[in-house]
Amino acid sequence: MIVFYKVPLYNRKELRIHTREGKVDDMIRLILVSLFLIIFLILSIPIMLFERVVKKFNPHAADISSLRIVQWAFKVILFFTGTKLTIIGEDRIPKDQAVLYVPNHQSYFDIVITYSRCPGLTGYVSKDFMEKIPLLSNWMKHLYCLFLDRSDMKAGLKTILTGIDYIKNGISICIFPEGTRNPHPEEGLLPFKEGSLKMAEKTGCPIIPIAITGSQDIWEKHMPFMRKCRVIVEYGEPIYLNQLDKERRKFSGAYTQSKIKEMLENHKSMIA
């Protein structure tokens, strides 16, 4: 017995309407994210001032409060974009010490996604132009972010030394060793910048390699629209440089990169 099912088909006119509706939804997401970000930055001015006062009396409480406030804001942004996260290996992050997070980089949303998951205080290494953005840079400084000028070796060294001090004082650091967003992640990772792991070398803290797949689908692939998508974030096993053999320790950047590549390769079967 043969059973025929009615399959809905779009004619050209219906398909155009369907596509237009999708673009309207995508534009609404962009508007919601933009409005929320602007409103949050403005309304957070008195909050930031209050946090500075609290910090004089109880620095740790103020730091944790600021961390949770920004994490909440980032989670709201991800909600507005419709992003669905698949998180793997988050339990591999040591909770009793500072670490150096080392993710691949393909989207501005890599920061939003990973920061919203940080279990403890974490500063991000950012390009120096971010320091010129009002309000946003104030929050970044308040949360131990570092601004790196790669054109100035002396300033760059000072930034790395500050990061080393932060880690020694229990504040984790996140650095994107590719140095910039990768416009073609399907072609592989960009070369890691020399000195990206220097903070781990000097402090002995564990390196947490992070593989991110799909974050570019939120915005970069179809600017200015923001689309619903699924993003995979995988945390690798901690890498302790002092436990590596001499050869791997000498090429620790390449070794860390290979671990990220392995995770990214495994993600392909998850999104196929």
pLDDT in tens, 197-219: 999 999 999 999 999 999 999 99
pLDDT digits (tens, 9 = 90+) for 128-137: 889 889 899 9
Residue 7 has pLDDT above 50, yes or no: no
Phi, psi of 203 (to 5 degrees): -110, -20
pLDDT digits (tens, 9 = 90+) for 225-268: 999 999 999 999 999 999 999 889 889 999 999 999 999 999 99
What is the reported pTM? Answer: 0.89
pLDDT digits (tens, 9 = 90+) for 44-81: 999 999 999 999 999 999 999 999 999 999 999 999 99
Q: Name every residue whose Cβ is closer than 8 Å to that of residue 137 and which is 6 or more positions away in sequence.
A: 130, 131, 147
Q: Where does the pLDDT of residue 178 fall: very low under 50, low under 70, confident under 90, or very high at 90 and above?
A: very high
- Going from the C-alpha of 225 to that of each of 19, 20, 130, 183, the distances in angstroms are 13, 12, 23, 17
Distance CA 135, CA 177 (A): 26
Q: Name every residue whose Cβ is closer than 8 Å to that of residue 242 and which is 6 or more positions away in sequence.
A: 204, 249
What amino acid is encoded at 131 in this protein?
E
Q: Which two tokens stand for residue 148?
A: 């790196």
Averaged pLDDT, 138-166 = 91
